[in-house]
């Protein structure tokens, strides 16, 4: 179903995965590449999936710190008849093409968009140049893997004495 996309499963499961997403043509985000984390709830397809940007994006409806997407965009229109392709071919492109500053998750982006559209456009382009490149998403994957490998057996073992201290006699 997602054969046109680069999909990477997390922990070899089918409920969590990352998808490489390219900004829509003729938008401020054109040329940008993002890693999107998708988490399917147990009630999927009756409940919409959770989606979030793994690398930074400047957008009023995307939380800058967590990358969470304003779920209203999906939940208002979600139907069990949709499949995951709808997220990447309809929902996300529409979100990027038509930001809604009146329902923000990123107040700075919303405020700038309403006050100075030219400066907002420039900041979006700067974020795309800085954070939304192919090397950013492949680097972040490598960093995640190396962080996991850096934990030694000594570090992963814990002792109750270290945490709680010694018991009183």
- The residues annotated with a catalytic role in the active site are 70
CA–CA dist 136, 151 (Å, integer): 23
DSSP H helices in the chain: 72-75, 84-86, 92-97, 107-115, 117-131, 134-149, 153-156, 160-164
CA–CA dist 15, 9 (Å, integer): 8
Can you give the C-alpha Rg of the chain in angstroms?
Answer: 20
């Amino acid at each position: 179903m997602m054969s046109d996309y680069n999909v990477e499963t997390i922990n070899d499961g089918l409920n969590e995965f990352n998808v490489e997403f390219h900004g829509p043509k003729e938008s401020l985000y054109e040329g940008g590449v993002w890693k999107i984390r998708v988490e399917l709830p147990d009630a999927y397809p009756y409940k919409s999936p959770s989606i979030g940007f793994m690398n930074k994006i400047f957008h009023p409806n995307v939380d800058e710190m967590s990358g969470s997407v304003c779920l209203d965009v999906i939940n208002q229109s979600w139907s069990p008849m949709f499949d995951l392709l709808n997220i990447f071919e309809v929902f996300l492109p529409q979100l990027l093409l038509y930001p809604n500053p009146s329902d923000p998750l990123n107040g700075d982006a919303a405020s700038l968009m309403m006050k100075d559209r030219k400066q907002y456009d420039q900041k979006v382009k700067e974020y795309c140049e800085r954070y939304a490149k192919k090397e950013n998403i492949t680097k972040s994957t490598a960093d995640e893997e190396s962080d996991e490998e850096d934990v030694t057996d000594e570090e992963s073992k814990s002792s109750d004495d270290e945490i709680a201290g010694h018991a009183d006699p």
